[in-house]
Amino acid sequence: MCAVDAARWLLVDDDEMFAETLARSLRRRGHEVRIAHSARCALERAGDLPIPQRVLLDLRLGSESGLRVLPELRRRLPNARIVVLTGFGSIATAVQAVKDGADDYLPKPVLVKDLLAVFDRPNVSNELSAETMSPRRLEWEHIQRILSEEDGNVSRAARRLGMHRRTLQRKLAKKPARV
C-alpha cells in the first residue's frame, strides 16, 4: 500500500517499457501510479478516483500529440501539476505546452530523482536562452517555431524558411542539437 503522503501519478506515454520502468521506480518510492498509453486513455484515467496530483505527459503519443490532450487534462485536473516530457524538445513546443497548461517541460532522458525535484519545486519552467545555444540548436529552434506557426505543414514551413521541402524533412528527422 502507498504511504499516507504518497503522491498520485498519471504517466501518459506510448512507450510501454519506459512507462512501466518509471512507474516501478516511483512505486518503490511509495507513490501511487497509473499509466495511460494514449490520449483517450489519459482522459479516462484523469477521471478515476482518487484523482491524480501529478501528471507526466509525453509530447508524442504514437501518431497523437500530447499537446492536443494537454488543455483537456488541465481542465479536468485543475489542481494537478502537469509536466510535459519529450525526446524532441524545442522552445516552440515548450512555450506551447506552458500556454496550454503545463507547469513544466523536460527533455528525455530524465532521472527519477530529477523528475521528483521538478514536481516538488515551485512552477518555474526551464529557460533556454539564445546565449547558451549553439548555432545548430538555434537553427533547430527556429525551424520548430516556423513549423509550429504553419500547423505542422512541412511544405509551407519550407517555403517560409527558403529551403526545399526534402531538405527540411531531413533536418526534422535528425535529433535536435544539444543546448
Q: Say if residue 90's pLDDT is above 80.
A: no
- Strands 81-86, 60-61: pairing is unpaired
Distance CA 141, CA 41 (A): 31
Q: Where are the beta strands (DSSP E) in the chain?
A: 8-12, 32-36, 54-58, 60-61, 64-65, 81-86, 104-107
Query: With the C-alpha atoms ordered 166, 167, 168, 174, is the resulting torsion angle positive or negative?
Result: positive
* pLDDT band (50, 70, 90) for residue 178: low
Residue 95, all three cell numbers: 512555450
pTM of the shown model: 0.66
> Which residues sit opposite 61 in a β-bridge?
64
CA angle centred on 107, ends 101 and 109, rounded to 5°:
135
User: Which range in 30-39, 121-130, 139-148 is most confidently predicted, on average pLDDT?
Assistant: 30-39
Q: What SS3 state is found at 71?
A: helix
* pLDDT band (50, 70, 90) for residue 3: very low
* pLDDT band (50, 70, 90) for residue 1: very low
**DSSP one-letter code for 79:** T
Domains and CATH numbers, the chain: 8-120 (3.40.50.2300), 130-173 (1.10.10.60)
Instruction: Kindly report, residue by residue over 40-84, the tens digit of the pLDDT.
Output: 998 988 888 788 899 999 988 888 888 899 999 999 998 899 999
- Strands 60-61, 54-58: pairing is unpaired
Q: What SS3 state is found at 99?
A: helix
Specify whether the CB–CB gap between 22 and 29 falls below 8 A.
no
Q: Which residues contact 49 (CB under 8 A, 6 or more apart)?
A: none
Q: What is the pLDDT of residue 72?
A: 92
Specify whether the CB–CB gap between 4 and 35 falls below 8 A.
no
